[in-house]
């Protein structure tokens, strides 16, 4: 009985504690455009060049491969940034043509770009090279956006259009995702 009384007091005390979370103000550049990468709802145009076979063969989670990411910035010009990438997920790495990726940028490389303040990204790709296979990625994106509306804790998401340049020995294949 004594433990129930202590539990009740702790529960009531916890209910009346004021709780507040502050939001960080959105930084702006000289033109007044927000620098927050995830606030922009327009799809980001990127080009990514890497060997799918090499990424899928590296199974160690701490092994990242060097690559370069080209993107269209707010002025619609192409710019690039050095990145490191690795495959995520054991099942999709083994069963899908495109494995989901984890991208890392150095803070110094991200400084002055649209990625400033964000150094780690998870990139979801369609599983196979089939027609209309992007629909599953769009459905997942919409699910994340709906969850963003109803939940206070959520993942930040942004839609991208990717030109994936696959390196295969002496030739390259381009996939538009």
Question: What residues have CB less than 8 Å from 105, skipping those under 6 apart?
Answer: 81, 82, 83, 84, 115, 118, 119, 120, 121
**Whole-prediction pTM:** 0.72
Per-residue confidence (pLDDT) for residue 9, from 0 to 100? 60
The domains of the chain are located at 27-176
pLDDT at 2 (0 to 100): 65
Measured CA distances, 77 to 21, 71, 73, 119, 171 (Å): 37, 8, 6, 21, 27
Task: Kindly give, in sequence order, each residue whose CB lies less than 8 Å from that of residue 147, ignoring residues fewer than 6 positions away.
Answer: 154
Which residues of the chain fall below pLDDT 50?
15-34
pLDDT score for 20: 40
Q: In the prediction, which pLDDT does 62 show?
A: 86
Instruction: Give the model confidence (pLDDT) of 51-69 as tens digits.
Output: 888 988 888 888 899 999 9
């Amino acid at each position: 009985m004594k433990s129930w009384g202590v539990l009740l007091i702790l529960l009531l005390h916890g209910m009346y504690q004021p709780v507040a979370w502050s939001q960080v103000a959105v930084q702006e550049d000289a033109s007044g455009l927000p620098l927050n990468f995830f606030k922009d709802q327009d799809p980001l145009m990127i080009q990514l060049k890497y060997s799918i076979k090499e990424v899928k063969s590296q199974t160690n989670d701490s092994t990242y491969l060097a690559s370069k990411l080209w993107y269209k910035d707010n002025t619609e010009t192409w710019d690039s940034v050095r990145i490191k990438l690795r495959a995520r997920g054991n099942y999709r790495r083994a069963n899908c043509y495109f494995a989901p990726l984890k991208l890392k940028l150095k803070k110094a490389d991200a400084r002055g770009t649209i990625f400033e303040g964000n150094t780690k990204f998870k990139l979801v790709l369609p599983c196979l090279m089939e027609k209309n296979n992007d629909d599953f990625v769009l459905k997942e994106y919409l699910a994340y956006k709906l969850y963003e509306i109803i939940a206070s804790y959520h993942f930040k998401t942004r839609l991208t259009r990717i030109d994936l340049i696959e390196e295969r020995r002496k030739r390259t294949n381009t996939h538009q995702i």
